[in-house]
Amino acid sequence: MTQPAAPLPADDLPGVVAALREARQRWRDAHRRRGDGRELPSRELLAAMVQSLSGALFPMRLGPPTLRPEDEDFYVGHTLGTAMVTLRQQAALELRHEARQRGDDAPAQDADALAARFLQTLPALRDLLDSDVLAAYQGDPAARSVDEVLLCYPGLRALISHRLAHELYRLGLPLIARVIAELAHADTGIDIHPGATIGPGCFIDHGTGVVIGETAVLGRRVRIYQNVTLGAKSFPTDDDGNLLKGQPRHPLVEDEAVIYAGATVLGRVTIGRGAVIGGNVWLTRSVAPGSVITQADMQSHEGAQP
């Protein structure tokens, strides 16, 4: 039987508490933190908000199990109202934090206005997600129904979070967007930066280990399998050696391209329309529309180099 851990000696605990207080204060002083209350958005509240928004978007499938069709509109209205209260509060925290980081007294944007603008994006976002569900159903012979896709597929779950996060990113709430993205990453194993632009009808099959970088752009009906990376080849710096943020550095994937498991595509290269990138290919150059690239092709290409 495991013995309980021995308690700390009484003299140790106050010293540790004091040392941790000093460490917090050093951090706050170095980063201009006031330490006068909650300064950053809450992961827990944002996770609950995403769950609520998912239910509002698909009430009879992702909403509460007791929901009846005649109560759908009431549930959606109530759930969206609650979610928007959370978003306004969390957005206000992010905007105040951003202002403090800049040394300003007031946020550059209004949290209520951003939440209202986000709310207006939801009908179009539902249409986008419908196209993703249909793409998965049509693209996977193992899928027996669109409902199975929505309930079971991690790729669809990740896309719900991504499409919500991407709208928040575009509206000027990158921290909230990144939290939502990382919650989905932890839940599904699919890492999509909220800045990535993904067209309609995307299908991420299996999904574990997929990485899509901030400035990646995916066209319509793109299909991606597990362990695919759409990443950066290099990281540009300024004259002082500091990383330049937000520079285009990830691939452009045109309509109807397919990237099979384990492929790595790096840099601001273009995968042409309808191109097929085979499994485990390492690619750092653009590919013409309709091309089929395999490991053998890459080895031959590399061997032809002087």
* CATH at residue 263: 2.160.10.10
- With beta carbons less than 8 A apart as the criterion, state whether 108 and 150 touch: no
**225 and 90 both lie in a single domain:** no
For residues 273 and 252, what is the distance between their CA atoms, to the nearest angstrom?
10
State which amino acid sits at residue 25: Q
**75 and 172 both lie in a single domain:** yes
Domain of residue 254 covers 209-306
Residue 263 lies in a domain: yes
Mean pLDDT of the residues in the chain? 92
Q: What is the mean pLDDT of residues 194-220?
A: 98
Residue with tokens 């995307």: 202
Residue 20 lies in a domain: no
Q: pTM score, two decimals?
A: 0.90
For residues 109 and 259, what is the distance between their CA atoms, to the nearest angstrom?
39
- CATH code, 184: 1.10.3130.10
Q: What is the mean pLDDT of residues 134-150?
A: 97
Residue 34 lies in a domain: no
**262 and 170 both lie in a single domain:** no
The pLDDT > 90 percentage for the chain reads 78
For residues 149 and 25, what is the distance between their CA atoms, to the nearest angstrom?
49
**219 and 267 both lie in a single domain:** yes
Provide the domain count of the chain. 2
Q: pLDDT tens digits for 220-251?
A: 999 999 999 999 998 878 888 788 887 899 99
**214 and 138 both lie in a single domain:** no
